[in-house]
Structures are given as C-alpha cells and as structure tokens.
Structure 1
Amino acid sequence: MTRPSDAALLVALYAVFLLGVAYSFDRLARRTSARSAKWRTGSFTYHADHDAWLCPEDQWLWPQTFDPDQRVMRYRAKPTVCNACPVKKSCTSSPNGREVTREVDPWPHSEAGRFHRGIACCIALLAVVLPAGMLLSGPGVSDTLLLLMTVATAVAAGIPLARHLWRTPSGFPEQVPHVRAGAPPVTDDRFATRWGSFSVTDVSGSSRLRRTEEEGKHS
C-alpha cells in the first residue's frame, strides 16, 4: 500500500483542526455563560444539598417559584430579613426581598447557548464535508482509507455536540403573555435578574391615545 498523498493528509489534518476549533469555541461560550451567571448572582453561594442560596450576610434564599417558559427556579429571601439588612440599599430595592434565579438545564440552556452550540456544530460539520467531498473525486486506496477514517472520526466527535443540542430545551416562551386586567402592580427591583426581552403594551389604549393626539393637532 502506497503512502497517502499530501492533499489527503492536509485535508485530514485540517478536519482535525476544525474539530478542535469547534470544541474550543463551545468551551469558550460555556465559560462565558458561567461567568455571566456568576456576575448576576454576585457573592451569593448556591448550596445544592439545601437547594438554596446563601447571601453574604449569612441569610438563606429559598425556592419560591419555577418558570417553565424560561426554565429557571426563582429564590427569594424573607422580606422581614431583607428590609432590616444594613446592606439592603446595595443589594435590592424591592420590599419583597432579594430574588436570585438558577437555570435548571445544563449548557446550552438558553437561546444564546443554542446559537453558539449551533456554530460549533457547523464547524464540526465542515470537518465531515471536506474529506467526504474529496472521496467523491475517486482517490487511491491509501487516500480513501485515510479519508474514511477522518470522516468517521469527525462524525463520532460531532455527535455529542449535536445530541446535547437536540436534548436541550430552547428556553423560549411559546407565546407572549398578555396584560391581565386588574393585575396587582409589582414593585420593580433593579437588582433582580431579568429574563424576558419583550414588553407588552395595551394596543387598543395606545391607538385611542394616538387618535386623540391627532384630533387635537388638527383642531
């Protein structure tokens, strides 16, 4: 059996390089997400054995609600403890206690995570396409064996990325909730984590307001 050609060796090495880039990109995105989550929680420490957060003042935040749309568990401290805390002004502005959230799904749990995982899968797919495309040109026996091994390796290395992506929920709500009439107002906490990026407005009310303003201008 002759030695594989230089072109086949270069394609095989480049495919391995692409696999390394795909996993490095995914790892970097995961570390960035973990760093962002740590920044949101600040000095709060999560204790898995209690399923609760411990604040810097040695007070516990216990689970309150679970958000099925965003796939996060919400924890809140006791209002009586937070309102009497000496560092409340630098921690929360809510009279209902400080809130901390925790993602219940592994990476990639959010749309941003799925986006980065999708990019990693595309890079890994290139590692399969390049040697597979060279196989279509009818290379020799040595080149064919090398390219087949490269394709098999790339597919085996790319399956964990794609499989984890398929099994991970998107984290997006199925529909945008509407404003409920007579809903009690909720005090805004500028320190709490916000997971929604949409804002809901009363379309009929805003339309009436615009018509009133236009009539006033014409009159």
Structure 2
Amino acid sequence: MPDVTVWLIGAYAVFLLAVAWGIDLLGKRSAERSASWRTGNFVYHSDNDAWKCHEDKWLWPASFDPDKRVIRYVGQHEICGRCPVKDACSPTPGPRELTRQLDPWPFSEAGRFQRGIALAVAVVAVALPAGALVGSHGPLDAVVLGTVIAVVLGAGVWPLARHLWRSPANFPEHLQREGMAETAAGHAAVVPLDAVGRLGRAGGVPDTARAAPALTDRYATRWASDRRRLPGED
C-alpha cells in the first residue's frame, strides 16, 4: 500500500487543481459581467454579425482594432440622430458604438494576469507530487504520484498555459483596421446637432456648410464595410 503521506500529497495536488480552475472561472465570469454592463440592452446576433438595440435598430461592423483585437459596431447617423432616447443611449454626438472581443477569454491584460495566477497554482500542484516522487522509493508510491502529476498536467497546466503563448491570427480582413487614436480623432470631428443649430442662429452656417463635405467623406471611408443591408432591413 502507498504511504499515507503520498495520498495526502495527491489529494492536496487535486485540491490545488480545483482552486486553479476556480480562479480562472471567477475571472471569466467577472469579464462577462463587465461586458454585459457595457452592452446594456443590446443583443448580439451572430447570424448577421450585428447588434440590435432596444429600438430594434442595427449596429453594423465598421472597423477592427488590431491592438485591442476588438470589432467596432456603429449605428447609422440618420437613425441615431432621430432616436428619442439618443441622449440616454449614446454619450457622444455621433451614433452609438459597441465593441466585441474577437478572441475568447482571457482577451485582455487583466484576463491574462488572472490566468497566470491560476497557472501558477496549477504548477505548484505539479511541483508537490514531483518533489515527493524524487524522494519516494516504493513502486506503489511512484504509481500514485505519477498518476497525480499526469492528471494535473493534462487537466490543469496544459489547458491554462496554451492560450498564453498562442498568437491570434484570425484578423477579419473585410473590415477596416482602426486604432484607438484614429477613433478618438474621428469623435473629435463630429459636430453636435444642437451646436449646428446654434451656429446657424449666430451666422456660422457657412463654416458648417464647408465642413459638411469633409465630414461626409470621412464617415464614408471610415465606417465603410463590405456588408450590405438586405431589402426590408432597417
């Protein structure tokens, strides 16, 4: 029979494996909860690759951020501008925007840090029986400890570690690539509708009229995509 100490080490290693997966699961649920706060009442439809708001309007994919690896979805200007809940829905003068992560969790630095902690716990779960295996001389002890090491490696270390060294390559080629700096510059160029009205009353219509073609051209190129709406879609 294996020694009692061997059984205790094996049980503790399995316990650490469960702790590692618990840490990883908590981090994933926290990320999902944070994403649900950002999207609110919007519902993602994978068949159309678009979001639908609570007013039954669509937000279509507009660009891809290669740095953060997120796809940006933008509503239509003419629809969002006339929406009765525009002020409560979008904090910016332009249409409502949403993002969707292209990669599974962990997709952020915080998520990778969380998974790194879980991986460290799993490595400790391997180190304990491995150290005991070096000092163990009984064949049954070696069988028990070797089995525990194989289980922890296969069920803990390998699944947790493989995502950290993989380099994602599934870039959506049909979308324009746009970083955070370009997006911020685009938002700064948007003129609020109430500001346009004030300019008109103050005699500033010529400046706004001259800026309109450039603004139209910017959105025509920036938010263009290969997707075309089907007849009957809003």
TM-score, length-normalised on structure 1? 0.76
Question: 1:165 Cα shift?
Answer: 2.3
CA contact (8 A) 1:105 1:168 kept: no
Match for 2:11 among 3, 10, 13? 13
CA distance in 1, matches of 2:116, 2:191: 35
Q: Which AA in structure 2 matches 1:19?
A: L
1:82 equivalent to 2:80? Answer: yes
1:166 equivalent to 2:165? Answer: yes
CA contact (8 A) 1:94 1:188 kept: no
Question: 1:138 Cα shift?
Answer: 3.1
Aligned counterpart, 2:58: 60
CA distance in 2, matches of 1:34, 1:96: 27
Match for 1:131 among 118, 129, 132? 129
Aligned residue for 1:150, secondary structure, equals helix
Aligned residue for 1:114, secondary structure, equals helix
CA distance in 1, matches of 2:137, 2:189: 69
CA distance in 1, matches of 2:189, 2:2: 69
Q: Which AA in structure 2 matches 1:56?
A: H
Question: 1:164 Cα shift?
Answer: 2.2
CA contact (8 A) 2:51 2:58 kept: yes
CA contact (8 A) 1:108 1:168 kept: no
The aligned length equals 178
Spell out the pairing of 1:37-186 with structure 2 (5 A cutoff).
Answer: 37-157=35-155, 158-167=157-166, 185-186=188-189
Question: 1:168 Cα shift?
Answer: 5.4
Question: 1:95 Cα shift?
Answer: 2.6
Gaps of 5+ in 1: 170-176, 190-219
Aligned counterpart, 2:217: none
CA contact (8 A) 2:51 2:73 kept: yes
CA contact (8 A) 2:45 2:52 kept: yes
Aligned residue for 2:135, secondary structure, equals coil
Question: 1:65 Cα shift?
Answer: 0.7
CA distance in 2, matches of 1:167, 1:128: 22
Gaps of 5+ in 2: 169-178, 193-234
Question: 1:187 Cα shift?
Answer: 4.9
- Root-mean-square deviation (CA), in Å? 2.3
Aligned counterpart, 1:24: 22
Aligned residue for 2:51, secondary structure, equals strand
CA distance in 1, matches of 2:38, 2:110: 16
Q: Which AA in structure 1 matches 2:154?
A: A
CA distance in 2, matches of 1:7, 1:186: 69
TM-score, length-normalised on structure 2? 0.71
Aligned counterpart, 1:4: 2
CA shift in 2, pair 1:188/1:19, >3 Å:
farther
Aligned counterpart, 1:174: none
CA contact (8 A) 2:93 2:191 kept: no
CA distance in 2, matches of 1:15, 1:127: 4
Detail structure 1 runs of 4+ shifted over 6 Å in the superposition.
none
| Structure (1/2) with the larger helix percentage | 2
Q: Which AA in structure 2 matches 1:18?
A: L
Q: Deviations over 1:151-201 (max 9, x none)?
A: 1111111211111222255xxxxxxx9x89xx6734599xxxxxxxxxxxx
